[in-house]
Amino acid sequence: GESVGLHLPTLSVQEGDNSIINCAYSNSASDYFIWYKQESGKGPQFIIDIRSNMDKRQGQRVTVLLNKTVKHLSLQIAATQPGDSAVYFCAENPGTYKYIFGTGTRLKVLA
């Protein structure tokens, strides 16, 4: 909901432009990563995932890049649309079921 996004960094992009959202993860043992999208008042929604044996994975209009050397993950959204406005956060899995979630970035799409 809105209260979750009060203290988040915000990325503002023009409609039609590409967006890049970054995430620094914490555990070098993490071997699976997910990007989630959370719209206002809703639960997080799975966007795309990547395993540590890959450095890039593409979906529909989205690409995730993984740099294990610097523990960095990025989400690229092509041709950003108004419906992409949301909070985006990454999650890392250092093993079993205990995911570590990032705090998120708010994406605002300007018409």
Give residues in contact with another protein (CB under 8 A): 1, 3-8, 32, 34, 41-46, 49, 51, 89, 91, 93, 95-104
Place of tokens 């719209």: 39
Closest separation between CB of residue 65 and another protein, Å?
Answer: 18
Give the chain's count of helices (H) and strands (E).
0, 10
Residue closer to another protein by CB (options 13, 91) is 91
Residue closer to another protein by CB (options 80, 89) is 89
Closest separation between CB of residue 90 and another protein, Å?
Answer: 9
Residue 90 burial class via C-beta count within 10 angstroms: exposed 0-12, middle 13-18, buried 19 and up: buried
